[in-house]
Structure 1
Amino acid sequence: MIYEERDYHVHPGKLARFVALYRDHGLDIQKKYLGTFYAYFTTEIGELNHVVALWSYTSLDDRAQRRAAMMADPAWQDYLAKVDGLLERQTTRVLTPVDFSPMQ
């Protein structure tokens, strides 16, 4: 099992809009295609205007296949157009749990 942490750094003043657009237009599409959805966080203290999403996949190949299928969906492309210009940057990390992690 692998975990993907996606970090979105949103332009100041745009966080509520970005989260609402994801809730209303993006999440269901991702749930249709991607692995297991664990969490979606915003920051309250520290680095502000920051969103973190956490997903899991059985492997990197599983992740690649699922993401390719999602990217081919016109509904996902419509969602991407809705959030265009709201992000400053995005980073993605693939995490592998150690043997004693409660998330395997």
Structure 2
Amino acid sequence: MIIEKRTYTLHPGKTQEFLALYEAEGLALHTKHLNMLGYFISDIGPLNQVITMWGYKDMAEREELRARLYAEPEWIAFGPKTTGFIQKMESMIMKPTGFSPIR
């Protein structure tokens, strides 16, 4: 298993508006194709961040599932609605250790 951690740094004061838009229009599309492990907001440390975690069997499955998502006309239409909220986006692929509870 691999886990993709995505961190979106939003413009100050825009987190709740971003989350409301995502929940109303993006969540069902995302989870139709991808396995969500968690969706978080920062509380201490760097603020104005949304952190998502997605699970995949391997990189090939990640590419396949994301290709399906990106082929959805509704997802293509949704994406531009979020760009004005985002200052920076980071993506990290994590592999669990042999003793990790998530494998």
TM category (shorter chain) comes to: over 0.9
Tell me the equivalent position of 1:22.
Answer: 22
Tell me the equivalent position of 2:90.
Answer: 91
Tell me the equivalent position of 1:31.
Answer: 31
- Within 1, Cα distance between the matches of 2:66 and 2:43? 29
The one-letter amino acid of 1:47's match is P
Q: How many residues align?
A: 103
In the TM superposition, structure 1's runs of 4+ consecutive aligned residues that sit over 2 Å from their partners are none
Long gaps (5+) in structure 2: none
Tell me the equivalent position of 1:57.
Answer: 56
Deviation at 1:44, TM superposition (A): 1.3
1:84 aligned counterpart, secondary structure: helix
Instruction: State TM-score, norm by structure 2.
Output: 0.95
> RMSD between aligned alpha carbons?
0.8
After superposition, what is the alpha-carbon deviation per residue over 1:52-81, rounded to whole angstroms, capped at 9, x for unaligned?
001100010100111111111111012112
Whether 2:102 is the aligned partner of 1:103: answer yes
Long gaps (5+) in structure 1: none
Instruction: State TM-score, norm by structure 1.
Output: 0.95
